[in-house]
């Protein structure tokens, strides 16, 4: 089994400069002498104390699987002994994939907490045609959480991080459903990690994220929860404990509507559909996610009623072989329409 990453939270100071010094110290403690540093604009200050064989590399917005492989090759040729990624989800995903291609370890230093890929062994990186693809990569050896950096992140990214975690209890039900049908076996340790992940954030779900964002306690809980969710996936070797029908819906939004919001925000919207399919109270759930600043209505994602029906019909194709409450419902166009009207009325 893969090893779990070590997680360090730096919160003893108000200054990001102090985090930067601590990060460089921790990288050295890992025995890393020549890191290839990958950072985006938000990670520049935090990466400023790191030095390696090359200057900091910046992934461009269109970095794809080729870009990741090229970066891995560059790291090898430069004699780097690890890749340190300081940035958002894209930056960390590219680093995890580049490291997998080059056989190096990764240190992940998120500058925002927008999804649970921070420490998962999976990278979501576009292919040649710009379609997002989930690929096996390496899980980071160390995740360094800098609270002074995260308090300045946009609240939309923290909302999305919370949105991604809302999936966990539903994903577990989907996993149990697949097990009931004799299609898969659940893994108790991965299950428990996913439950624990959601528990960490539960107390913060009724407070608007904009209000919580400057609260280091909230950021720490969110970071812990996202890391635990990644660990659940490392443990099971699949995304199962954190990804069910709601993720299929988010993937279908990416594939057919070009992506309308951050991953975690789309996942939160997908959760509304799972909640309905499990015959639970969608209006309470919608109210909760609206308070968190997440999309609760198709129009929040610029989707019409017909788009949403199409989405429900196309979502199972995004994960062939995965059985969730959506595959169990086996929707045809009529049933999909009835479901959409049941949740959102005629509008």
* Least distance between Zn ion and beta carbon 229 (Å): 8
Closer residue to Zn ion, CB minimum distance, 22 or 164: 164
The beta-carbon contacts of 48-54 under 8 Å, at least 24 apart in sequence, are 48/17, 48/20, 49/20, 49/21, 49/23, 49/24, 50/23, 50/24, 50/84, 50/86, 51/24, 52/78, 52/80, 52/84, 53/78, 53/79, 53/80, 54/78, 54/80
Rounded to whole angstroms, the Cα distance separating 12 from 281 reads 42
Task: State which residue, 164 or 187, has the beta carbon closest to Zn ion.
Answer: 164
Report the residue number, 34 or 132, with the smaller CB distance to Zn ion.
132
Residues 85-124: x where in contact with Zn ion by CB under 5 A, - otherwise, as a string: ----------------------------------------
Our CB check for Zn ion shows the closer of 19 and 120 to be: 120
Q: What are phi and psi of 85, to 5 degrees?
A: -105, 120
Q: How far apart are CA 176 and CA 194, in angstroms?
A: 13
Closest distance between Zn ion and the C-beta of residue 50, in Å? 28
**305 with 298: CB under 8 angstroms?**
yes
3-state secondary structure of 122: strand
The DSSP bridge pattern shows strands 122-126 and 132-136 to be antiparallel
The nearest distance, CB 310 to Zn ion, in angstroms, is: 22
Of 142 and 166, which CB lies nearer to Zn ion in the complex structure? 166
Residues numbered 284 to 313 that lie near Zn ion (CB under 5 A) are none
CB of 77 to Zn ion, least distance (A): 33
Q: Which is nearer to Zn ion, 19 or 197 (CB)?
A: 197
In the complex, what is the shortest distance from the CB of residue 266 to Zn ion, in angstroms, rounded to a whole number? 9
Per-residue x/- track, 148-177, Zn ion (CB under 5 A)? ----------------x-------------
Cα dist. 193→83, 197, 241 in Å?
A: 27, 6, 8
User: How far, in Å, CA of 37 to CA of 198, rounded?
Assistant: 32
Shortest CB 9 distance to Zn ion, Å: 22
Dihedral class, residue 122 (left if φ above 0, else alpha if ψ from -120 to 50, else beta): beta
If the CB atoms of residues 101 and 247 are measured against Zn ion, the closer one turns out to be: 247
The nearest distance, CB 211 to Zn ion, in angstroms, is 24
Cα separations (Å) of 171 from 240, 265, 298?
Answer: 7, 16, 21
Binding status of residue 187 toward Zn ion by CB under 5 A: no
The site for Zn ion, by CB under 5 A, has a size of 1
CB of 115 to Zn ion, least distance (A): 5
Of 40 and 168, nearer to Zn ion (C-beta) is 168
User: What residue number has its CB nearest to Zn ion?
Assistant: 164
Residue ranges in contact with Zn ion by CB under 5 A = 164
């Amino acid at each position: 089994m893969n090893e779990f990453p070590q997680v360090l939270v730096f919160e003893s100071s108000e200054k990001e400069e102090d985090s930067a010094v601590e990060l460089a110290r921790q990288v050295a403690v890992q025995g890393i002498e020549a890191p290839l540093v990958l950072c985006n604009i938000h990670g520049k200050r935090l990466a400023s104390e790191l030095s390696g064989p090359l200057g900091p590399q910046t992934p461009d917005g269109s970095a794809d699987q080729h870009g990741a492989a090229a970066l891995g090759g560059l790291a090898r040729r430069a004699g780097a002994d690890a890749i340190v990624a300081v940035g958002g989800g894209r930056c960390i995903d590219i680093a995890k994939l580049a490291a997998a291609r080059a056989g190096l370890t990764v240190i992940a230093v998120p500058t925002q907490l927008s999804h649970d890929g921070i420490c998962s062994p999976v990278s979501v990186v576009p292919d040649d045609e710009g379609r997002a693809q989930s690929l096996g990569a390496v899980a980071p050896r160390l995740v360094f959480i800098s609270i002074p950096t995260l308090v300045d992140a946009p609240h939309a990214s923290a909302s999305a991080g919370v949105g991604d975690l809302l999936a966990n209890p539903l994903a577990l039900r989907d996993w149990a459903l697949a097990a009931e049908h004799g299609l898969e076996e659940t893994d108790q340790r991965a299950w428990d990690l996913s439950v624990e992940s959601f528990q960490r954030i539960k107390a913060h779900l009724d407070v608007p994220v904009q209000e919580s964002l400057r609260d280091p306690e909230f950021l720490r809980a969110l970071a812990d929860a996202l890391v635990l969710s990644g660990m659940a996936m490392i443990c099971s070797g699949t995304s199962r404990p954190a990804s069910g029908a709601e993720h299929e819906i988010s993937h279908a939004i990416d594939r057919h509507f070009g992506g309308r919001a951050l991953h975690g925000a789309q996942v939160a919207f997908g959760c509304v559909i799972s909640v309905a399919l499990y015959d639970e109270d969608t209006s309470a759930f919608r109210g909760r996610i609206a308070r968190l600043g997440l999309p609760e209505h198709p129009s929040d994602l610029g989707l019409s009623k017909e788009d949403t029906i199409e989405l429900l019909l196309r979502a199972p194709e995004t994960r062939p072989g995965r059985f969730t409450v959506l595959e169990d419902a086996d929707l045809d166009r009529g049933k999909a329409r009835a479901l959409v009207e049941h949740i959102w009325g005629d509008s």
